Amino acid sequence: MAEKYVHLIVTRQDTPDSTPYNEEFKVPYRPGMNVISALMEVQRNPVNAQGQKTKPVVWESNCLEEVCGACSMVINGKPRQACSALIDKLEQPIRIAPMTTFPVQRDLSVDRSRMFDALKRVKAWIPIDGTYDLGPGPRMAEVDRQWAYELSKCMTCGVCLEACPNVNSKNPFIGPFAISQVRLFNEHPTGKMNKHERLEALMAEGGIGECGNSQNCVQSCPKGIPLTTSIAHMNRETTKHAIKTFFFS
C-alpha cells in the first residue's frame, strides 16, 4: 500500500527583508498529527517535495496545548494555533503562512512586540510591592471572578489583531485584546487603584477610538473571549471618565 503523507505548502522568508516564497513538503502521515508535528517532520528531514535538501522551516511554539499563543500562524487562510490544528481536520494541501499583521523574523516566526508594547501602554498589570508579605488579597464575588477568569485566558496570540482590519503597520491601534485586558485589571479590587491611568491610555492615540467595530475579533479569538463586550464596556468607561475630567478637574 502506498505510504500516506501530509502535503504542506509553506510560505517561507529567509530574513525580515527578503522576498517570501512557497516551498512544498510531503511528510509521512501519522494518526493524531497536528501542524506542529508535521513541521517537526520537516525539521527532522529537511527535504522538499521535489526531493531537494532545504533549510528546516522556522516557527515558534512552546506549550503545545493552546495556552502560550506562540505558534499562531495562518493555516488554510485562517489565523490560528498550529498546535491545535489537527491534520485530519484540514483540507490538503495544507497552506501555512506567517501572520501578516506582524513583521516576519523568519519563515513562520513573527515579531509580536507590538502586542507587548500595547500591554505596557495600557499598564496591564497590578503594581504591588513584592518586597514583603502583603497577606491575602481582597476577595472577589464569585460572579465577578467567573467573567474575570474568562478575560484572563488571553494568551497574546495575535489572532484578534490579524483578524482586525484596523490593525496594520500604518496604524498604532493597540488592538482588541489590550482593551479587554484594561477591563480585566480595572475591575480587579486592587487593580482599580490605577484605573484612571489605564483609561487615559485607552483614550490616547492608538487607543479605543481606533476600533471600527468590525467585530471580527470576537469571532476569531480561540479562547472565546468576549472582546466586543469588553470594548463596549470600556467605551462607556472612557466616556464617563472624559465627562468627569471635563467637569471636575
Q: How many CB atoms lie within 10 A of CB 127?
A: 11
d(CA 149, CA 43): 37
Q: If contact means CB under 5 to 8 A according to the sort of partner, which of ligand FES, ligand SF4, none does residue 35 touch?
A: none
CA dihedral of residues 211, 215, 217, 219 (deg, nearest 10): 170
d(CA 136, CA 62): 32
Smallest distance, ligand FES to C-beta of residue 144, A? 27
Going 203 to 205 to 208 to 213, the CA torsion angle's sign is positive
Q: If contact means CB under 5 to 8 A according to the sort of partner, which of ligand SF4, ligand FES, none does residue 201 touch?
A: none
State which residue, 74 or 160, has the beta carbon closest to ligand SF4. 160
Binding site for ligand SF4 (CB under 6 A): 69, 154-160, 177, 180, 221, 223, 225, 227
β-pair type (72-75, 94-97): antiparallel
49 CB-side CA count, 13 A: 12
State which residue, 80 or 188, has the beta carbon closest to ligand SF4. 80
State which residue, 109 or 181, has the beta carbon closest to ligand SF4. 181
Smallest distance, ligand FES to C-beta of residue 63, A? 4
Beta-carbon contacts of 141 under 8 Å, excluding residues fewer than 6 positions away, are none
Q: Which runs of E-coded beta strand occur in 21-147? A: 21-28, 72-75, 78-81, 94-97, 104-106, 109-110
Q: If contact means CB under 5 to 8 A according to the sort of partner, which of ligand SF4, ligand FES, none does residue 159 touch?
A: ligand SF4
Binding site for ligand FES (CB under 6 A): 61-64, 66-71, 81, 83
Q: If contact means CB under 5 to 8 A according to the sort of partner, which of ligand FES, ligand SF4, none does residue 160 touch?
A: ligand SF4
Smallest distance, ligand FES to C-beta of residue 237, A? 30
State which residue, 109 or 230, has the beta carbon closest to ligand SF4. 230
Phi first, then psi, for residue 10 (nearest 5°) are -105, 130
Strands of the sheet containing 78-81, edge to edge, are 21-28, 5-12, 94-97, 72-75, 78-81
Q: If contact means CB under 5 to 8 A according to the sort of partner, which of ligand FES, ligand SF4, none does residue 67 touch?
A: ligand FES
State which residue, 87 or 157, has the beta carbon closest to ligand SF4. 157
Q: If contact means CB under 5 to 8 A according to the sort of partner, which of ligand FES, ligand SF4, none does residue 225 touch?
A: ligand SF4
Q: If contact means CB under 5 to 8 A according to the sort of partner, which of ligand FES, ligand SF4, none does residue 223 touch?
A: ligand SF4
Smallest distance, ligand SF4 to C-beta of residue 212, A? 16
Smallest distance, ligand FES to C-beta of residue 1, A? 33
Give, as one character, the DSSP assignment of residue 23.
E
